[in-house]
Structure 1
Amino acid sequence: MINIRFEPMTETMYQTYLPTAIEEYAAEKVKAGTWVEAEAIDRSTEEFRQLLPDGRASKDNYLFSLIDEATTEAVGMMWFHVVEKKQGRTAFIYDFSVDAHHQGKGYGRQAMVALEQVARRMNIKIIGLHVFAHNTRAIKLYESSGYAPTDLHMEKRLD
């Protein structure tokens, strides 16, 4: 059985993560039709700057490497932000990924289980996230982990 451990992301890992994350987020926004390609990198860069003004040390943001406990190998990452709301302490997952060569092996599911353990230790009552509608693999993972839609945005293209 796979067991995942969350370790705080090192500065070296963060410096590797950030440019890739900016590019991937920009590409996802273009694929979703939210942004045009010409502006996507600039907009993505600005969003990351606003969300992580102090890098991995940004207040109430938690960036982790996902570690396979058996091999001690990093297999992915997770970033979430914590806020106090009327419903209680709430975490919002901004980014979560399993490295391509580790996908399909159960790491994603185990990371979601490990996240719940971390969240309980942090007295978090609710975990939220956003998923692009075209990411059916992630949607299936989240639904099978007990997540349910709270808002649904839809559109129709008139060409």
Structure 2
Amino acid sequence: MIEVDVRAMSREEFDTWQTEVVDAYAQEQVEAGNWTADEALGRSQDANAALLPQGMDTPSMIFLLGLLADGTPIGRLWIGLTHPRGVAHCAFLYDIEVAAEHRGRGLGRALLTAGERVARERGAHALELNVFGYNTTALTLYGSAGYRVTTQQMRKDLRTSAGPDADTLAP
């Protein structure tokens, strides 16, 4: 496996990442069918602001840049040391991204491993994350890295499918 090191993001790197992560989260919510395209960017901005009321200086948040041995940046991580649902000793991975030009080389796993190391060094006993069901690449990565499903949400679009018993359940 390729080694990836991490360091704290600079203020400039954080600012650039913030714009990109808000845009990406909005798009993910649209793709998942949770938000409309018209509302997505505003809702994503609001969600991000709620999680990071002090921006880069929000307590218990870690923002990391992943680097190859030669110093080439390959990705970013956002880890919260305080779990959003209050799970004791469990950090939360809000975002992990490998730059498009570096994907497909095992760097996602290496970046994830580096993030796990930082969380462990900061006192976390576990690391939890959410992943959209349509993101099969991420699901494969996390499963192969030892993550297991702890909760699962499922949805059926009732506008496009009446279901097997539609005729017998009519009012």
TM superposition shift of 1:87: 6.3
TM superposition shift of 1:113: 1.7
Q: Letter of the aligned partner of 1:16 in structure 2?
A: T
Gaps spanning 5+ residues in structure 2: where?
A: 161-171
TM superposition shift of 1:29: 0.1
Does the aligned pair in 1 maintain the 2:64–2:78 contact within 8 Å? yes
Count how many residue pairs are aligned between Structure 1 and Structure 2.
Answer: 158
How many Å separate the matches in 2 of 1:91 and 1:111?
16
The structure with the larger Rg is: 2
TM superposition shift of 1:52: 0.9
The match for 2:168 is: none
How many Å separate the matches in 2 of 1:116 and 1:138?
16
> What do residues 29-56 of structure 1 show as CA deviations (whole Å, max 9, x unaligned)?
0000011111000000000111111111
Q: Which moved more, 1:117-126 or 1:28-37?
A: 117-126
Structure 1 segments (4+ residues) deviating >6 Å = 84-87
How many Å separate the matches in 1 of 2:86 and 2:156?
35
The match for 1:78 is: 77
The match for 1:145 is: 145
The match for 2:54 is: 54
How many Å separate the matches in 2 of 1:86 and 1:49?
19
How many Å separate the matches in 2 of 1:6 and 1:34?
33
How many Å separate the matches in 2 of 1:33 and 1:134?
11
How many Å separate the matches in 1 of 2:151 and 2:125?
19
Cα distance change of structure 1 residues 59 and 34 upon mapping to structure 2, 3 Å threshold: same
Higher strand share: 1
State the SS of the aligned residue for 1:83.
Answer: coil
Output the aligned Cα RMSD. Answer: 1.5
How many Å separate the matches in 2 of 1:105 and 1:154?
31
Cα distance change of structure 1 residues 42 and 141 upon mapping to structure 2, 3 Å threshold: same
Cα distance change of structure 1 residues 57 and 86 upon mapping to structure 2, 3 Å threshold: closer
Does the aligned pair in 2 maintain the 1:62–1:80 contact within 8 Å? yes
Q: Letter of the aligned partner of 1:101 in structure 2?
A: E
Q: Letter of the aligned partner of 1:19 in structure 2?
A: T
The match for 1:97 is: 97
Gaps spanning 5+ residues in structure 1: where?
A: none
Q: Letter of the aligned partner of 1:109 in structure 2?
A: R
TM superposition shift of 1:123: 1.7
